[in-house]
Amino acid sequence: MLLDPDTAGHAAAGHPESPERLRAIAVAIAADPRLAALPRAAPTPVDPAHLLLVHRPDHIRRVEAASRAGGAWLDPDTYCAPDSFTVARRACGAAVMGMEAVAAGRARTAIALVRPPGHHAGPDQAMGFCLFNNLAVAVRVGQRRLGLGRVAIVDIDVHHGNGTQDVFYEDPTVLYCSLHQLPHYPGTGRAGETGAGAGAGTTLNCPLPPGSGPAAWLGAFETRVLPAVERFRPELVAVHAGYDAHVADPLAELRLTTDSYRTIASRLAAVAQATADGRMVWTLEGGYDLQALADSVAATLRVLAFS
């Protein structure tokens, strides 16, 4: 478990993507002696060369310049504060550290509980609260530096991970699967978006209408996503762990429960065991009701650590 102890320098007044998100998670972990005893590490900043495996140099320079200048809004939803570049590099570094630990056999599963999130960030664009694509960078490090071949990414955030899709859309070595609300931000992720070129057929989008509850979500997960992962036979399963499809979340209109996330974690662990010797890397994405987020992350950790 990688948990950044200090993200206060990446904040904007009134913004839902706030330091309180990780504080709520930390409180939930501390309240459960078993979770509090889990091995943990503080993340270190990502190697700039690793960022370049996904992001273009101009994008990295824009984020750094905005941060050094005292902060700026990079789009109507995405802010950069004076310490955002440092915090974002640690978030990305945590994902890479998790990948390194799993690839080296030091851990079977790693989870990076960090912010800002990442799955909207593309090669040359920050958006949707995301500065760098933490999980995409970790996957590329796994493939280019650590000897991994095929990787399956499962995105359970309520928003479509357009940045991750863009990174891997033409790559046959990465399966990207997303379950998300549509219509909703960012407007991508239609069922007809299935990959291109050599990557044709390695993108699977499962859009769900507003109001969908556990039966519809888990139905698509069980009948479409898990079989696709099984057929792909990945060497590692990576998870964009967004918790904003929770019924309590203020930014979306799906109706999952904390128990839903417990089930999701259990099924992902089972498919990873069947296809990838249990190897998984999770990174935190959305989740903006603090209690629902904390409860759902704690439920996930109990499954991953003790089931």
Shortest CA distance to 287 belongs to which of 104, 153, 115, 41? 115
Peptide bond between residue 82 and the one before it cis (omega within 30 degrees of 0)? no
Alpha helices by DSSP H, listed for the chain, are: 20-31, 33-36, 48-51, 57-68, 84-103, 134-144, 162-168, 214-220, 226-232, 258-276, 290-306
User: In the annotation, is 120 catalytic?
Assistant: yes
**Rounded-to-integer distance, Cα 304 and Cα 307, Å:** 6
DSSP string of 41-104, one letter each residue = B---PPPHHHHTTTS-HHHHHHHHHHHHTT-EEEETTEEE-TTHHHHHHHHHHHHHHHHHHHHT
**Candidate list 120, 160, 184, 246, residue with the active-site label:** 120
Beta bridge partners of 80: 72
- Decide: residue 37, CB within 10 A, 0-12 exposed, 13-18 middle, 19+ buried: exposed
Would you state the structure tokens that stand for residue 139, as one six-digit string? 């996957």
User: DSSP 3-state assignment of 148?
Assistant: coil
Sign of CA dihedral 203, 273, 215, 250: negative
User: DSSP 3-state assignment of 307?
Assistant: coil
Q: How far is it between the farthest Cα atoms of the chain?
A: 49
Shortest CA distance to 85 belongs to which of 68, 103, 107? 68
Report the catalytic residues: 120
